[in-house]
């Protein structure tokens, strides 16, 4: 269940989970907001979908539709990705086990009302170990698990063609929290490096970032692609991925996609990034916002193509072993079977 109006990180995580379970042999029904992109993409992936309206004034009628769906489909398990899904499923689930998937950087609210909802929840599943270390599960009285978000390793794979040596790529919305300024300033410390910037305006505009590049004297080494419907082209043009985020990143889709594409990743040691980018093995970590440290790392890697290749191969192998649809599907299948037996 993923009542997402737009295509966002939660929607992508829900679809990847559904595909992983379907690939593991489960019969999957994905529910979402009527007319939402996740339902279109789920149907394109061959999944069965339904659209009970569970937001706003439509919640009560959507709740009735969900109840009918459960009686018709008779699932062995319900997975809820958003708060409205969680509430609706808890109300109508009967004895069907319920998992609440949490992949959002926002912390769960633990109130009197939420404790009642918590009592109707079989298991909470977090998408990153950092969330448990940071206390996101505090106050939860039932089981808590960690299963990472998957990456499509068939879609994001090494191209077989060498990326342009010394070319970096960042793929993120233009927002202060994503650290574009840190990366652009870091180029001063790595004179031979070039940067491909894939993304579009959000809190910042392309003009804002161009102004930073001009002020730092690196504008001739920064290329803006604009919004890309398929970011794989940008990845294929680079030899190193960069995720310099200052905050957020409960789950870093960009880091996983870059690593799956065979790129080592230079990442800020921010939240969930430290669990994905293994320092010295699949990339290198830097303190968030430290452009000088990041610049030194860029220069270091640009001077050693063999190390870039080694880290990139390690990154790809890690994605295949831990984050592929097959691997994540197997973990979900095992968890759900355990809780179904206990129900």
Q: How confident is the model at residue 343 (pLDDT cuts 50, 70, 90)?
A: low
pLDDT number for residue 114: 84
The domains of the chain, with CATH numbers, are: 9-150+324-342 (3.40.50.2000), 167-323 (3.40.50.2000)
The tens digit of pLDDT for each residue in 181-212 reads: 999 999 999 999 999 999 998 899 999 999 99
The tens digit of pLDDT for each residue in 280-329 reads: 999 999 999 999 999 999 999 999 999 999 999 999 999 999 999 999 99
Cα separation, 37 vs 4, whole angstroms:
8
For residue 224, list its beta bridge partners.
197
The tens digit of pLDDT for each residue in 142-160 reads: 999 999 999 999 999 998 7
Residue 111 CB neighbour total at 10 angstroms: 11
Question: Where do the H-state alpha helices sit in the chain?
Answer: 9-23, 37-44, 59-73, 83-92, 112-119, 129-133, 180-186, 206-216, 232-236, 253-260, 273-276, 291-302, 305-318, 325-342
């Amino acid at each position: 269940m993923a009542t997402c109006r737009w295509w966002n990180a939660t929607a992508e995580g829900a679809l990847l989970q559904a595909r992983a379970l379907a690939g593991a042999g489960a019969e999957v029904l994905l529910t979402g907001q009527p007319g939402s992109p996740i339902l279109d993409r789920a149907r394109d992936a061959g999944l069965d979908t339904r659209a009970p309206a569970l937001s706003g004034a439509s919640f009560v009628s959507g709740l009735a539709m969900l109840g009918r769906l459960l009686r018709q489909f008779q699932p062995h398990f319900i997975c809820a990705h958003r708060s409205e899904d969680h509430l609706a499923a808890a109300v109508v689930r009967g004895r069907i086990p319920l998992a609440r998937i949490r992949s959002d950087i926002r912390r769960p609210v633990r109130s009197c009302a939420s404790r009642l909802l918590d009592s109707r929840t079989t298991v909470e599943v977090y998408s990153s170990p950092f969330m448990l270390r940071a206390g996101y599960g505090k106050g939860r009285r039932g089981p808590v698990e960690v299963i990472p978000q998957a990456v499509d390793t068939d879609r994001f794979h090494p191209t077989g063609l060498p990326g342009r040596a010394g070319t970096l790529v960042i793929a993120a919305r233009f927002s202060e929290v994503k650290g574009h300024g840190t990366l652009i300033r870091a180029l001063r410390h790595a004179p031979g490096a070039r940067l491909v910037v894939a993304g579009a305006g959000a809190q910042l505009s392309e003009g804002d970032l161009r102004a930073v590049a001009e002020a730092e004297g690196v504008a001739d080494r920064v290329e803006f692609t604009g919004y890309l419907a398929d970011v794989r082209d940008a990845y294929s043009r680079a030899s190193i991925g960069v995720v310099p985020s200052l905050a957020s990143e409960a789950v870093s889709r960009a880091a996983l996609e870059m690593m799956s594409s065979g790129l080592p990743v230079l990442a800020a040691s921010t939240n969930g990034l430290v669990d994905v980018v293994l320092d010295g093995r699949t990339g290198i970590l830097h303190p968030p916002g430290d452009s000088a440290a990041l610049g030194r790392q860029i220069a270091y890697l640009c001077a050693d193509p063999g190390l870039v290749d080694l880290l990139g191969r390690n990154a790809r192998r890690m994605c295949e072993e831990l984050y592929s649809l097959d691997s994540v599907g197997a973990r979900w299948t095992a968890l759900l079977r355990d809780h179904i037996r206990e129900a």
